[in-house]
Amino acid sequence: MNIIITGATRGIGKAIALQFAKPGNRLLLCSRNEGELLALTTAFNKQFPDTAIHTKVTDMSIKEDVFAFADWCLQFGAPDILINNAGQFIPGKIHEEAEGTLEKMIEVNLYSAYRLTRKLLPSMMQAKTGHIFNICSIASLQAYTDGGSYSISKFALMGFSKNLRLELQPHGIKVTAVAPGATMSSSWDGFEIDKNRIMEANDVALMVYAASQLSPQAVVEDILLRPQLGDL
């Protein structure tokens, strides 16, 4: 299976890659950080010698980079699973955040998934199979303090997921929106977090992998995960 994961070197993306690193699978991974990609490739090749690992340095906020990554992925054939995970969290209030924050959040959190998906869809539609996971957020479902433009972009990603699912039903392609609450990732760098109040990245990865294993007749439309003790 060809499995594409964006933002794959940290947090949820890396945890998902670990879940799909099965014999016979081909992982097509990207990140902005070349050093992290090299380290990931080395570690995965050692730990999973029967899994093909291919990586490409890509800034998913840049249209040309996204298109180049899509073309690179397609040389391996139609994707079986696409996980739109790349994203960024900038906290703030709408009336206080820096000028340009909304544009940046939309580029990273929405357009990245929109552009990549559109480039890959013709091959998936021709194959009449595939599964797309969009890593949304609890911020896709409800407003919260200091959500600002991040929340706006994630609401938009949820809307994209819902429309895409409806459009692709006749083509045999599944779409799952994943909305995690607070999860340990680089988004929380610099914050003092009680580990008992935040989920592990692997919690999200396990749910994504489980949803990918259903029969062609079934789809998990939405995955909502929250910390056991409630939202932060």
Sheet holding 131-135, edge to edge: 52-57, 26-31, 2-5, 81-84, 131-135, 174-180, 222-225
pLDDT tens column, 176-221: 999 999 888 766 556 677 777 899 999 999 999 999 999 999 999 9
- By CB neighbour count within 10 A (0-12 exposed, 13-18 middle, 19+ buried), where does 67 fall? middle
Domain extents in the chain: 2-225
State which amino acid sits at residue 122: P
> 106-141 pLDDT, tens per residue?
999 999 999 999 999 999 999 999 999 999 999 999
pLDDT digits (tens, 9 = 90+) for 56-106: 999 999 999 999 999 999 999 999 999 999 999 999 999 999 999 999 999
3-class secondary-structure state, position 205: helix
Average pLDDT over every residue of 145-164? 96
What number is the average pLDDT over the span 32-38?
95
Q: Which residues are annotated as catalytic?
A: 150
The torsion angles phi and psi of 30, rounded to 5 degrees, stand at: -140, 160
CATH of region 2-225: 3.40.50.720
Q: Record the pTM.
A: 0.94
Beta bridge partners of 134: 84, 177
How distant is the alpha carbon of residue 71 from its chain centre? 18
